Amino acid sequence: MSIYHVGKVCVKLAGRDAGKKCVVVEAVDERFVVVDGATRRKKVNVRHLEPLAQTLDIKEKASSAEVKAAFSKLGVAVKESKPRKTAERPKKQKKKAAKPVKEAKKKAPKAEKKSTAEEPAKKEAPVEKEPVKVEAAAQ
């Protein structure tokens, strides 16, 4: 049997709650226990705990209220825990359909094209370059 049994008072050595007193509420296995008290109720490694000589008379998996009552008899202030209120997630807004934009384009009057028959084509024929004659200089 491990020295970390239900009701054993300990001090947290590591983590956010380091230096605070807690009590073992449940022994998960040889390495891990669930603690509660002046710390947050949480599963911790026994390496992060320092056992004290004190024990509390609590049952296995005791509620936070029972742990608080047992610690008050011992004279240790216990952290008041309140359940978190989760914020309501914002609802996704639907994207506006692209149909009104397409309809607006369809309804817009089209510009009339000028007929090519009225205006003569101003295309000029490509200019042909004459070959340059190179005369050899006679000596």
Q: Which residue matches tokens 């009225």? A: 118
Evaluate whether residue 126 is within a structural domain. Answer: no
38 found inside a domain: yes
Share of the chain above pLDDT 90, in %: 30
Which domain covers residue 31, as residue numbers? 8-74
CA 40 vs CA 24, 67, 121: distances in Å = 12, 12, 88
* 127 within domain boundaries: no
pTM over 0.75: no
Task: Indicate whether 121 belongs to any domain.
Answer: no
Q: How many domains does the chain have?
A: 1
pLDDT tens for 22-56 read 999 999 999 999 999 888 899 999 999 999 998 99
In a domain, 55, yes or no: yes
Domain CATH number, residue 19: 2.30.30.30
Residue 86 resides in a domain: no
